[in-house]
């Protein structure tokens, strides 16, 4: 089962998200985490391992300058990207 696609990056933070190299898939990953879906379940839905999801999440955190997944979700939510 695939995730629903994010229609487009929202106006508010889209320029910032694009500058930081966040893809729509990255935003979908953050949106699923915001819903409370576990990393392992996100991995199963994306047909990748939980470890791969954690690695992608670490990359997202590094790009946006936060330390944790929770901060990454909050960052995206504040910018209305998710």
How do the domains of the chain map onto residue ranges?
25-78
pLDDT tens, residue by residue, 42-61: 999 888 899 999 999 999 99
Lowest mean pLDDT among 5-9, 23-27, 56-60: 5-9
Select the more confidently predicted residue: 19 or 32.
32
Distance (Å, rounded) from C-alpha 5 to C-alpha 3?
6
Q: What CATH number has the domain spanning 25-78? A: 1.10.10.10
Q: Reply yes or no on whether the pLDDT at 31 is more than 90.
A: yes
Q: Which of 78, 67, 52 is nearest to 26 (CA)?
A: 52
Quote the Cα angle for 10-4-30, to 5°. 60
């Amino acid at each position: 089962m695939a995730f629903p696609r994010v229609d487009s990056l929202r106006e508010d933070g889209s320029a910032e998200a694009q500058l930081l190299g966040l893809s729509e898939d990255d935003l979908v990953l953050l949106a699923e985490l915001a819903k409370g879906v576990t990393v392992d379940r996100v991995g199963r839905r994306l047909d990748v391992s939980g470890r791969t999801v954690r690695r992608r999440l670490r990359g997202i955190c590094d790009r946006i300058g936060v330390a944790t997944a929770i901060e990454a979700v909050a960052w995206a939510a504040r910018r209305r990207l998710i």
